[in-house]
Amino acid sequence: MIPHPLRSPSARGPARRWASDAIPTIERIYDDPPPSTEQVLHPEKYHEERDDPQEVTLPSALSELEADWQEMDSEVMGEFFIREYLAGHLSTDLAVVAAAGWDLADLRHRSPGPGPGHPFAGGAG
């Protein structure tokens, strides 16, 4: 049941105003979607002072692995993933604080390749 004051003509004005303001915002989001979960979690970092993710590069010491090691998998993770990961190990409140403002993480699983010492050398059955 809808309370009487919400059905009154005076309540329709603010609803129309909100709808007319929301449509251009929704169109802008479709034309230029947030590139990171940080901007989804903190809309002010998308709408107001834009905070786009910074490119993540591997330290030069790790680049030596590129010649001898094979990349098995890679994933780019933003604030939402980090928050959810930490929440599995910390309190939710602490995970939210720890992940706040996280740009991106570039997770790469590399392996020296199949061989006697490789954990996947025997296959799976």
Q: What is the pLDDT of residues 37-63, one digit of tens each?
A: 888 888 888 888 888 888 766 666 666
CA dist., res. 98 & res. 86, Å (int): 8
CA dist., res. 125 & res. 123, Å (int): 7
- Residue that is written with structure tokens 């709808």 in the block: 19
46 exposure class (CB count in 10 Å sphere: 0-12, 13-18, 19+)? buried
Closest CA to 38 of 81, 87, 92, 85: 81
pLDDT at 125: 34
Predicted TM-score (pTM) of this structure = 0.54
